[in-house]
């Protein structure tokens, strides 16, 4: 696993944290899922190849 330090807008952080809580996940679990989903969609569209 790789660690990444990122800056995130306060409002986006609040929304992500709330969504994570509603899904009974930690924020990091929620972000991992979101990144996997986005990367998967991009791969299907051929982005980044």
pLDDT of residue 12: 97
| pLDDT confidence band for 1 (50 / 70 / 90) | confident
Residue 7: DSSP 8-state: -
CA 19 to chain centre: 11
Distance CA 34, CA 43 (A): 14
Give the Cα-Cα-Cα angle 30, 35, 36 (nearest 5 degrees).
100
pLDDT in tens, 12-45: 999 999 999 999 999 999 999 999 999 999 999 8
pLDDT of residue 46: 87
pLDDT of 49 strictly over 70: no
| pLDDT confidence band for 47 (50 / 70 / 90) | confident
């Amino acid at each position: 696993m790789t660690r990444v330090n990122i800056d995130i807008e306060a409002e986006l952080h609040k929304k992500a944290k709330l969504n994570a809580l509603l899904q009974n996940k930690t924020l990091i679990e929620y972000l991992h899922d979101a990144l996997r989903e986005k990367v998967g969609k991009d791969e299907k569209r051929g982005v980044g190849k």
